[in-house]
Amino acid sequence: MLSRHEVDHVAALARLALTDAEAERMAVELSSILEHIDRIRALDLDGVAPTAHVSDATAPLRPDVPVPSLPREALLAAAPEVADGGFGVPSPGASAQ
53 compared with 5, residue with greater pLDDT: 5
Q: What is the largest CA-CA distance in the chain?
A: 65
pLDDT confidence bin for 52, thresholds 50/70/90: confident
CA dihedral (38, 40, 41, 43) positive or negative: positive
For domain 4-41, is the CATH number 1.10.1740? Answer: no
Answer with the residue of higher pLDDT: 82 or 50: 82
Task: Say how far apart CA 19 and CA 94 lie, in whole Å.
Answer: 37
Query: What does pLDDT average to over the chain?
Result: 89
Q: Buried b vs exposed e over 69-79: b needs ≥16 C-beta within 10 Å?
A: eeeeeeebeee
